[in-house]
Structures are given as structure tokens and as C-alpha cells.
Structure 1
Amino acid sequence: MPYRGKLYRALNPVYAREPLSGRGAELYGGRFNPKGLPALYASLTVMTALREANQVGNLQPTTLVAYDAEIDRVFDCRDDQALKAEGMDAAALADTTWRDRMKTGEAPTQAFARRLIAAGWHGLLVRSFAPGATADDLNLVLWRWGDAAPARLVLIDDENRLSR
């Protein structure tokens, strides 16, 4: 499925000057990317982005950014049949032990992401697993993005606030 619309990220201020880099995910790994593979984790709403960035403890300093997105090839994780065809299911996506499993190799969700990347997907649409999130809280995880089609992602910063 293609995705056209706004996306949001709540960044650690350390990465605020590089809101298109995917560097944090590359350094530490994420549910849908192993260490060494850049990924950009974005949300379809501001509140989901804030939940994602502040999952433990108190609200920490956060830089909120928005993007205009036109992403052609997005795997929809809400489609149970498509998940099954890829050897996944909703329970495996929600597995809370992915970080522990990453310590001894690759988490199943990371292997799933590798298969999707190899098949030419630009990203995946998946529900948020952050505390307080509901099935309506969605994230778009990107492995391929740039300033042109077919995976166009443009930071909204008309006033150049991040360059100051």
C-alpha cells in the first residue's frame, strides 16, 4: 500500500539536527531493524510519537518534528493474511522480549524486516506497542527514504528552526 500524508517523530534532542538520519536506530537497533541498519521510526499522530519516544519513566526533553511523506511500498502489518505469508503474526510483532533476543543474535521482528527490505518494501505500517497505545496508534517504520519518489520524505521546517 502507498502512504501519503504527514508523519511525526519525537526525537531525543541529541539527534534533533539530523531528523532524517535514522542514526539512533542504526546505532542501537530497533524492533524492526538490527544494529547497523538505519531506520526511521515515525508515527501517524503527534500523540503516538510522544508515546513512542517516552516509554519509560518521566517525560524527557524531546524535539517534535513533522514530515510530508509519499512512500510507495508500505507493508501493512494490520493485514493478517499478508503477515502469515511472511511467517509472522500479531503476537510475534508485539513480542516484548525483542531487545533480549537481539543481544544473542537477531530478533524475529528484525529478521522479518530484513525479508521485507530484500523484497523491495520501503517500510511497514504497524501498530504502536508503547504503553497506553491502542490499535489506532500507528507507526510507519522506514528503511528507504529520501527527497524524491518512490520514498519521498521531506522535513517540515519552513522557518529553518533546526538549523539555528
Structure 2
Amino acid sequence: MRLQTVVYRAHDPRWAWAPNSGAGAATHGGRFNPVGIKALYTSRTFQTAWLEAQQGFPYKAQPMTLCGYDVDCENILDLTDNVVRAANNVTLDDLGCAWKELSTRKIEPPSWAMMKRLAAGGVVGVIVQSFAIGATASDVNVIFWEWDDVPPHQVKVIDDAGRLPKDMSSWV
């Protein structure tokens, strides 16, 4: 499907100069990407982005940079849809697996195997429910494995006023 919307991401302010790099996810891995594969984790609402970024500590808020992204992206799968999940052989157990615990034990999480299979088939991102602590059914994320500043895989940070820093020098 083609996704045309605005999504949000809250991230560590030190990385405000590279809000769409995906390097942090590649370095540490995530629910939907193994170490070594870039991913851009975004949310459908800024509230969900904040919830995701706080890593389960919503009452001990840490500083975050909240960015919006203009999306015009083809080859997205909406895995919140039961029919789409079934057609792509994806289960809720795959999506919600204990990925961190499995990867720590050197077992490939089902969510990583799913990501590799879908990406090999041309899928560049997925829409999924949030698995953050405190998330409800209305908390939805969009994870991209391939993106650019222009269509057909556009995920472009919105910074019309040029407020984001251009490099890391603001932290020196």
C-alpha cells in the first residue's frame, strides 16, 4: 500500500542533527530490525512517539527532540489489519515476541525473521501496534527499513524553519 501521512519520532536530543539516520537502530537492533540493519521507528501520533521514546518510564520523562516526518511511501504493509497479517503469514505472536530476551540468548526473534522475509519481498516498512509499556490499541507505529527524502519511499523530516542542528558541534 501507499502511505501518505505525517508520522512522529521522539529521540535523544544529541541526535537532533541526524533525525532520519536510522543508525541507532542499526547499532543496537530493535523489535523489527537486527543489529546491522537500519530502521526508522516512527509513530502515528506524537503521544505514541513520546511513549515509545520513554522506554517504559512515562513518569520519569527524559529530554527528547520531537520531529514530524512527511511520508509518501509505497510498499508499506499494514500489519494492524488481520487480513493483511494472514495474507503475509504474520502472527501477533511474531510481532509481540520477546525480541530482546531472545536476541540476548542468540536466538533470532520471529519479528526479525519476519522483517527479513518481508524486506526480501520488497516491503519497505510496516504499520504495527505499539508494544511499549502503557500502550493501548490506539497506539500505532510505522517502522521503515528503506526511506529517502523523495517518493516513492519518502520519509522526510519536517524542518521548514531550519531549527534542527546540522552537525554534532552543538554538543561539544
* TM-score (structure 1 length as normaliser): 0.93
1:153 matches 2:139: no
The letter of the residue matching 1:48 is: T
Partner of 2:71: 69
Partner of 1:8: 8
Q: Which ranges of structure 2 fall in alignment gaps of 5 or more residues?
A: 167-172
Q: Deviations over 1:110-160 (max 9, x none)?
A: 110011110001100001111221111111000010012210121111111
Counterpart-to-counterpart distance in 1, 2:82 and 2:14: 37
SS in 1 for 2:83: helix
Query: How do 1:66-105 residues align onto structure 2 when only pairs under 5 Å count?
Result: 66-95=68-97, 97-103=98-104, 104-105=106-107
SS in 2 for 1:36: coil
Query: How do 1:1-150 residues align onto structure 2 when only pairs under 5 Å count?
Result: 1-57=1-57, 58-95=60-97, 97-103=98-104, 104-150=106-152
SS in 2 for 1:126: strand
Counterpart-to-counterpart distance in 2, 1:133 and 1:116: 25
SS in 2 for 1:59: coil
The letter of the residue matching 1:131 is: I
The letter of the residue matching 2:101 is: D
Once the two structures are TM-superposed, the CA of residue 61 in structure 1 deviates from its matched residue by 1.2
Counterpart-to-counterpart distance in 1, 2:110 and 2:93: 11
SS in 1 for 2:100: helix
Aligned residues: 163
Q: Percent identity?
A: 40
Q: Deviations over 1:47-104 (max 9, x none)?
A: 0000000023321111101111001111111222332343321133122x21011121
Contact 2:94 2:114 in 1 (8 A): no
Counterpart-to-counterpart distance in 2, 1:65 and 1:151: 18
The letter of the residue matching 2:111 is: T
SS in 2 for 1:163: coil
The letter of the residue matching 1:118 is: A
Contact 2:56 2:132 in 1 (8 A): no
Please tell me the root mean square deviation across aligned C-alpha atoms, in Å.
Answer: 1.4
SS in 1 for 2:164: helix
Contact 1:86 1:112 in 2 (8 A): no
SS in 2 for 1:140: strand
SS in 2 for 1:4: strand
The letter of the residue matching 2:138 is: D
